[in-house]
Amino acid sequence: MNLPITFDRIVSAIGNVARPYVLYSAATSSALATVSIVWMRLDLIAGAAFVGAAWGGVALLYGAKSLENASVAKTNAAPVVPSDGGQPAQ
């Protein structure tokens, strides 16, 4: 089965790899920032701002992807044809 390599397939493959990587990198950077801030005895407001920004970006990424999936599903949905052939009720 030889499937043609198209731009859409490449974008989909990159997206499938990149989205989990974003979660891993956000979790790692949040953990390192928390430890670094405590170690340097800086104010926790800066740490909370960084962690909030990191996870806010992740939430934005996944929110946009879910809207995209909903839009694609709505576009690909088959139209509903009434069982009476579309005749208005008398």
Contacts of 34 (CB under 8 A, 6+ apart): 47, 51
In a domain, 89, yes or no: no
In a domain, 6, yes or no: no
CB atoms inside a 10 Å sphere around CB 15: 11
Q: What pLDDT does 80 receive?
A: 66
pTM flag (> 0.85): no
Q: pLDDT (tens digit, 9 = 90+) per residue, 35-55?
A: 777 677 667 777 777 778 877
> Taking a C-beta distance cutoff of 8 angstroms, is the pair 37, 47 a contact?
yes
In a domain, 1, yes or no: no
Tally of structural domains, the chain: 1
Separation between Cα atoms, residue 42 and residue 45, nearest integer Å: 9
Domain holding 35, by residue range, is 13-65
Query: Is residue 67's pLDDT more than 80?
Result: yes
In a domain, 76, yes or no: no
In a domain, 80, yes or no: no
Categorize the per-residue pLDDT at 85 as very low, low, confident or very high, splitting at 50, 70 and 90.
low
Q: Give the DSSP letter of residue 85.
A: T
